[in-house]
Amino acid sequence: MSFSINFSPSAWQDPPSLHHPFLIQIREAASKYRLQSAAHFNIPIDVCQATHDSNPDRFADIDGDFQICVGFYNFGTDPVFAVCRPKVAKRGRNKGKVVKGAVQVWMRTKFVPVGRFFEAEFSPLNGPVADEIMFQWWNANGRTFNWTGLPTEVKERVLMFCLHQSPPLPIQKKSRGRIRQVTQGAPEVIGQLGKWASLLTVSHQVRAISLRLCFAGNSDLEFGDGLCIVAESVLSFQRSIRRLDKHRQLTAVNSLPSDEKARELETLYKAFPKLYPHLDRFATFSHGIRKIYLQLSFIDALCFFKVTAGSFAQHWMPHKPNFEVLEKLPHLNELIFQLPDATGYLEDDLRKLPVSIFYGEPFNCPRTLHRLIYESAAEVLAPYKVVKLHGFMDEEEEIRFLSLRDFAKKDLKITTEELQELYEEDEGGIELEKNVIPGVKKEETYGEKQEIVPDEFWPPKCRCETPCREVLHPSSG
Ligand SMILES: [Zn+2]
């Protein structure tokens, strides 16, 4: 039989009212065949009684002589016509009787099991199937996927595929032409999960694995470095930390403090996460931060690193974060600072801080200010493994910083060793004061309302060998 491409799709079909019930058995066989695998399921098989003079009427018994002409087809293909019959037992007690549910199809020279016919005419394609088909197949096959039985590494690989498919959500959304800061949620983390953010609500374990991928990163992911905070000012850094702090990690069963005792432990962890790593069930998203990039203005940098030159300590801003906040990030492993822009507009903003740091051109001295900042940075950031500063005025300054940092690191090592020795000699007799955090200077606080003490140091006047102005603006003379 042959058909033109344009034949009417239903011209060969008997109307459903004439269909013999044997078609139900054939459809069941097709369905069973398709359920073998997702690839088989990917090929639909429609079954319809074909119009043929010799077809039995719809009330005919299904016996050893029963035969029926059937069209097999799916979307986009011409039907394959074949004569079907029930299988008849050839031996045994039921010899000569019809085997229920067993369908045979005439192929070329003989009747064969319907499965073989399907393999020939509706064979599965190579390659992966669409998500939708996979989903439908699992819905139809009556089996369950043993997710909990998978080893954790495999679960992690599976979740990584989700993260791969997620384009990062924009941190800022435009609304009516204005740029609106997204304050809800934690885009630093949720953005990595994209449309898969609901993974965080599946179970403690799936949440834990997903968050670990977001925090620690993986070289196979787009966000290979893990949770990075990029802030162009101290204010935006502060906002980021606050936002992340509002979200608990909740990866353990008892992460929500339920009584007074647990709340105390939570407070303790939040104050000294490095000293109490075993309490990390109370951790928030901010504790997952791995890397920070921070750009600072002159005033912010002087305050952030708690510079004390002259009587500057009276100007530290207690409501803004300083380097001590880094101690509360137990997994922080890389710090990048952009030094204040020496080539920018250098003028005091006395509304911000009642201290003059710029002498006025041509005597502004950003070199002195940079030095104050990075000298302090070298010392207080000594405990951190990777620290990078960018934006030095010249190479000499950078070399100076690197040697100061080396020095501070060696110093720190000696201090740690000495402490250890002391500890051993004393058989562990030293009790650390409660508020001692390694790497953090002892707090020197000045009341905000305290009178401002004027001093001789500020503003520093440029006495550099080559005046700063000449270095920065060679053309201006
Ligand atoms: Zn200078």
Enumerate the domain spans of the chain: 16-129, 146-244, 296-476
**What is the 425 CA–ligand 1 centroid distance (Å)?**
49
CA distances from 428 to 272, 424, 436, 438 (A): 21, 6, 17, 17
**What is the 466 CA–ligand 1 centroid distance (Å)?**
7
**What is the 461 CA–ligand 1 centroid distance (Å)?**
7
Dump pLDDT digits (tens) for 90-125: 888 888 888 888 999 999 999 999 999 999 999 998
**What is the 440 CA–ligand 1 centroid distance (Å)?**
30
**What is the 407 CA–ligand 1 centroid distance (Å)?**
24
**What is the 343 CA–ligand 1 centroid distance (Å)?**
12
**What is the 90 CA–ligand 1 centroid distance (Å)?**
106
**What is the 300 CA–ligand 1 centroid distance (Å)?**
20
**What is the 347 CA–ligand 1 centroid distance (Å)?**
15
**What is the 467 CA–ligand 1 centroid distance (Å)?**
5
- Answer whether 0.75 is exceeded by the pTM: no
Query: How far, in Å, CA of 162 to CA of 155, rounded?
Result: 11
**What is the 301 CA–ligand 1 centroid distance (Å)?**
18
pLDDT > 70 in the chain, percent = 86
Residue 167's pLDDT band, with cuts at 50, 70 and 90, is low
Rg (CA), the chain: 37
Find the range with the poorest average confidence among 270-274, 275-279, 454-458. Answer: 454-458
Query: What 3-state DSSP class applies to 285?
Result: helix
Contacts of 80-84 with CB under 8 Å at 24 or more apart are 80/121, 81/1, 81/12, 81/50, 82/106, 82/107, 82/117, 84/22, 84/26, 84/114
Query: How far, in Å, CA of 312 to CA of 299, rounded?
Result: 11
Query: How far, in Å, CA of 41 to CA of 136, rounded?
Result: 9
**What is the 367 CA–ligand 1 centroid distance (Å)?**
5
AA identity, residue 363: F
Dump pLDDT digits (tens) for 34-80: 999 999 999 999 999 999 888 998 899 998 899 999 999 988 778 99
HSE toward the beta carbon, residue 178, CA cutoff 13 A: 3
